[in-house]
Structure 1
Amino acid sequence: MKKAPALLKILVSVLLLLVLPTSCKKEKHAVLKKTDNTAEVKRLTIIADSCFENSDYKNAFNTYTRIISLSDTVKDRIDYVDALISLAYIYQYQGDYIQSEETVIKILPHLKYMKKPRFAWNAYFIQGFNYFKTDNLESALVYFRKALNLNTSAFRKWGILNSIGIVYMKQKKYNAAAYMFEKITTEGYHAQKFKTNSCDRFELMDYAVMLNNLGICYQNLKNPKAIDFYNKSLKIRLKINDRDNISSSYAALSEYYLKTNPALANKYAKLGYEKASEVNFYVDKNYCLSFLVQTATGNELKKYTNIYIHFTDSINKARLKNKNQFSDIKYNFKKDIEENLELKSQKAEHELEMQRQKNRSNISYVVIFISAFILLFLFFHITLKGKKEKDDAIFKSELRISQKLHNELANDVFKLSTRIQNSNLEEPKTKEELLNHLDQIYLKTRKISKENSIIPFNENYEIGLKEMISEYSHSDLHIIVNGLNTVSWSKIERIKKITVFRSLQEIFDTMKKHSDASLASLTFKINDKNLQIIYIDNNTKVQNSSINLKNRLKSVENRLKTLKGFLQVSDSENQGFKVFINLPL
């Protein structure tokens, strides 16, 4: 291992020899350095977001487009993707769903680098809505379900379920849509907050939309409960003065009573038209005017018919004008960017290409050399380290076995040797005693051998464990084993089997030395994916010393801790020791 620094010195020297000529050449060729625009991107993002939140989409569009042109797609990835998401929303608001989709496609390659799921959620939601608005309903469901499967907030998840319900409504699958909105309005994020009176104003606005959607589903299914949900939605909107959406409730109620109670339908249509006019909400104004035309009579019919015709004409002209203005903004800004990029690329292209050609071969040689050297270095390092660790483990194992042989057998062998020298081996009684003594030494040696032998990990593990336990049972100690057969040992990891085997060996060794128990029980059971082992004996030799016993079993406790298990030791007067082992599987 001491050769590593020398190898590193050689590597540094070779790298310097390879890199220095390349560095000298670079001084002769000017290389265009990319400007760091991160600070400017951050500043523009604050401005663009403010414009977006205030519905100033014209200035927001220009600023977001500027951010995209300045951003480094790696260094400024978050601001870059945020700008693309906002542009996709702006295109969507303007009804340009094709351009919105093209913008989302630019976002998708970056999603794998984004830690927060909100970026993917927005991309999938925008794409789903684009498909919804272009009547590609199956594709819309695909992207809404992608958004649903993301690990996002409950608010976003229930919002996506609401979108899926709206798709079902457009597909005229009113049963499926009703089921979705029933779940949302009874179990969803907004419903739970509504029950506890903890909704803020915006959450109440969303909840009212969901109730209204459920009413529309019930109305199409001829379910009389529709009116209940229309009224619940209206009640919430009136309570919070939801000026943007009250007209939707009145429009829904007007349509509900259109055939059964024209007078009431007319009343709600007037209220809806009035509220929609206050906020200039085109959709509800259009609905309510159409209902007024159907329910009005006499002079009112003429009045509302003229208003309806004038309104639809002016709206069509305004939409065409806005669309043309928006197209001009996109075209002019795109043209400026393309001209600037073309000039920059023409200026730098020739110099960069020549420099790349000269550096490419040198870089390739350096990369290959470094890779080969690192692989060689790692190979020798890992090999030497493994060999050293193996030698250390063998040495420690041999030292431990040697100490155990000395502690447990040296005295017995010495006594036997002395007795052989001082006894008459011809006497049968002496010969029998010597043979018994030899047999005891053999059994101790065999036990030490067993303790350090290889533990079987195949189907014979259970048999080996039983044999190990039975070796501690003798005429003065009876061991009862329960539940050993109920454990699926073949499914337990190898390291955990070793821990169980060695831990039980140490527990029995400790009890043999420090206990006078005549009866012991060992219980195995699986409880909530944990292997639990309970040892109990009737020891009376040492009372009130569970702390001392736990210290003797410290090595067992350490073994278990490495596998997130634990050991508990307790004693009770006249009831012996109890050891509890818990090992997660």
Structure 2
Amino acid sequence: MKYTKVSLLFQTILFSFFAISLPLVSIAQTPIDSSYYYYGAINNPVHPNDLPSGINFYIQKKITDLNSKDTLSAISDLRLLAIGEFKIGNNFNSENHIVEALNLIQSMSSKDTLIDAKVGLYNQLGRIYRASNNPSEAIKSYDNALQIARKFNDSVILLNNKANIYKDQLDYENALDIYNLIYQKQVYSNDKFQIALVLDNLGFVQSKLNLPSALQNILKALKFREETNNLVGLYSSNKHLAEYYLDRKDTAKALIYAEKVLSLANKINSSSLKLEGISLFMSMNKNPLIHEYKRLTDSISNTKQIAENKNAFLKYNIAEEQKKTQASQLLQEVEFRKRLVYQFLVLFVLMILIGSYFIYRNKYRKARIEEIYKTETRISKKVHDEVANDMYKVMTSLENNVGIDSKVIDEMEKIYAKTRDISRENSAIDFHQDFGIQLNDLLFGYKNNTVTVVTRNLSKINWEGVPELNKTAIYRVLQELMTNMRKHSNATSAALVFHKNGSKIQIDYRDNGIGCDLFKKNGLQHTESRITSLNGTIIFESKLGHGFKASIII
């Protein structure tokens, strides 16, 4: 059984989003063979490779369909490509696929019969504008789709997505009106996918308005999505539950759902959802520096997104583009250069912020570790100079008193021995002496008639270039491991092997004791925190009755 603690490094967080897409309407001939598989890989991805493989398949299929003059199938291919690219965070590519599909529809004599295809494409375009922080254009796209939509389910999803825009803008009252409307229309249907979609968003908005039925609606939506194994829907439900408890300062429950959010994002293999999940974790961190960094990063990202929005849908109206004058084109070129300069400045500022953060964090961490070691040494000295010495004086005076029970003296001697051991375990390390010799003396100090201690390669390690903080951590961790071995393991032998790999030192510890249940061995957390505070790793491996192992890299 292995127990490994993994530290997540701070990452640059860009804004992200989530929306539910319209179910694909069949606008071409029924797909056969592998088309069924890749159709599902795009619309309901389960494995990490589903989306990339689905996108590659439909890129090739679109080329084949266009070469064979099968325009209807090519439009369907483009629709699927737009959805797939959107799910992995490639909004610009998704937008281009939609524009190409709309151009193909416009070129067909039967364009007026392809209403369902146009509804789906306009809906997808609205989702892209929402992700691009362009709410006004997103609402226009949804309204365009609503004007031509003929199916009830399509209208429900379009209204839901329109309400999502109001939710993004924190206009919860308008969002609530729409969600209530479509829920009343949908409540008697048997479509769990649609009901879960509306219930989840309704519950989330109700939670923001502190309405009593909020949690009940979110949990009900989660149950429906678990029954249908809707990964994207499960992601949304868990995210809303995490935010629900975070708003109510229940960080423990929020963290449980946030972990599920990140796990689902990895399964879906969506970059935007992963970033959103990581951002959710950062919102739970109490460090004000992280919150300030996140705020600045989000602000810079939003500003950059607005500056870089490439509205490919404008290309759809080619005739209008051709009417632009040469002066207008020159102005666009100037604006483009300004954007390049702006992007460079944003990148430069971002690099400074990231660099400043890591410099500050390293200085703070080093100072904190040094203070901890100083505190340990100071406490050790006080235990020895005050507690142990006073205890010894009392023992001496009591020994001369004939009326004192010898058992009392024995118990006091045990207490004195414990205070002396505590003082010795946390006393200062003299770095002016050979550290290898001190470490050797420490390890062999645990050897006796019943316990054998063996070391390998200890004398080959050059300790002169190792920082004092690292030496202290190694000394204390090995001291704690050996003390645990002596007190609790019933081991008869312990072996330690030392390795030097570049600037890293690896120490492998092993004994033949009774082992332990790592999940109940809370005392190991202290050694773990010492190592991880210096960007090192420590891995424990143990089973009851099969000894104990530890691997340290620092």
**The TM-score by the shorter chain falls in which range?**
0.3 to 0.5
Which is helix-richer, 1 or 2? 1
- Could you state the TM-score of these two structures normalised by the residue count of structure 1? 0.37
Q: Pick the structure with greater CA Rg.
A: 1
